[in-house]
């Protein structure tokens, strides 16, 4: 994320709104996954805009030890991750992405907490299929949750199905977001009770 270039844009407003709606579920913090150097002032302004604490101001680059970089997320709180581009299936070291293998490890390390990821990596025309594919991949690893398909797309996941359901209800119950834009998958060892929200 290049905070100086994008600070305060429409995406940031949606991020703040989502985190506000989810605040009733417990403490949230943010890992912005900066891909450019951010001053303390810029990071503080971003934290204030989001309304949550930032847990890392470090820059992510190709040579970063990603396990250590994301290790700060393994704390007793819900975490918002803001990769520069979005979520990518598999593993890798490209700084503009969070990879699904990393997301699974974070969810496994914090089974009683949620992880929210912004995903701007969707190609036009197949957005729903791409989000569904990512969620199904995560579900095979025991991580479930809804995704929201739009120009401002996100995925919200966790290991605790009842918590994920409460989070989904917190978002949909306090907004006029069209339910048709939500897609979900459930872990393969459970009944598929919400493959697609009507």
Query: What distance in Å separates the CA atoms of residue 158 and residue 145, rounded to the nearest whole number?
Result: 6
Instruction: Please report the pLDDT score of residue 194 as a whole number.
Output: 37
Structurally, the chain folds into a number of domains equal to 1
CA distance 74 to 18: 21
Do the domain assignments include residue 197? no
Is 156 a member of any domain? Answer: yes
Q: Is residue 192 part of a domain?
A: no
Is 20 contained in some domain?
yes
Tell me if 163 is assigned to some domain.
yes
**195 CB-near residues (< 8 Å, 6+ apart):** 184, 185, 186
Contacts of 180 (CB under 8 A, 6+ apart): 197, 198
In a domain, 191, yes or no: no
Mean pLDDT of all residues in 147-172: 94
Q: How confident is the model at residue 91 (pLDDT cuts 50, 70, 90)?
A: very high
Q: Confirm whether 108 is domain-assigned.
A: yes
Q: Which residue has the higher pLDDT, 40 or 115?
A: 115
- Let me know if residue 193 belongs to a domain: no
Residue 98: how many other CB atoms lie within 10 Å: 30
pLDDT of residue 70: 98
Mean pLDDT calculated for residue range 152-173: 94
β-pairing, 114-118 vs 97-99, is: unpaired
pLDDT at 6: 60
Task: List C-alpha distances in Å: 194 to 47, 120, 187.
Answer: 33, 24, 11
Confidence of residue 123 (pLDDT cuts 50, 70, 90): confident
- Residue range(s) defining the domain that contains residue 38: 3-185
The percentage of residues in the chain with a pLDDT greater than 90, rounded to a whole number, is 73
């Amino acid at each position: 994320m290049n905070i100086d270039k994008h600070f305060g844009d429409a995406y940031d407003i949606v991020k703040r709104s989502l985190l506000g709606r989810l605040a009733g579920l417990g403490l949230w913090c943010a890992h912005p996954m900066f891909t450019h150097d951010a001053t303390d002032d810029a990071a503080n302004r971003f934290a204030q805009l989001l309304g949550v604490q930032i847990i890392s101001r470090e820059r992510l680059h190709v040579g970063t030890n990603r396990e250590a970089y994301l290790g700060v997320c393994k704390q007793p709180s819900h975490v918002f991750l803001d990769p520069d581009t979005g979520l990518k299936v598999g593993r890798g070291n490209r700084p503009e992405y969070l990879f699904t293998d990393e997301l699974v490890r974070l969810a496994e390390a914090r089974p009683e907490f949620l992880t929210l990821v912004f995903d701007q990596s969707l190609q036009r025309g197949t957005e729903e299929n791409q989000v569904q594919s990512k969620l199904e991949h995560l579900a095979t690893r025991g991580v479930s949750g809804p995704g929201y398909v739009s120009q401002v797309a996100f995925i919200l996941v966790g290991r605790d199905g009842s918590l994920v359901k409460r989070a989904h209800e917190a978002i949909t119950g306090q907004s006029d977001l069209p339910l048709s834009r939500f897609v979900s998958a459930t872990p393969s060892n459970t009944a598929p009770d919400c493959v697609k929200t009507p």
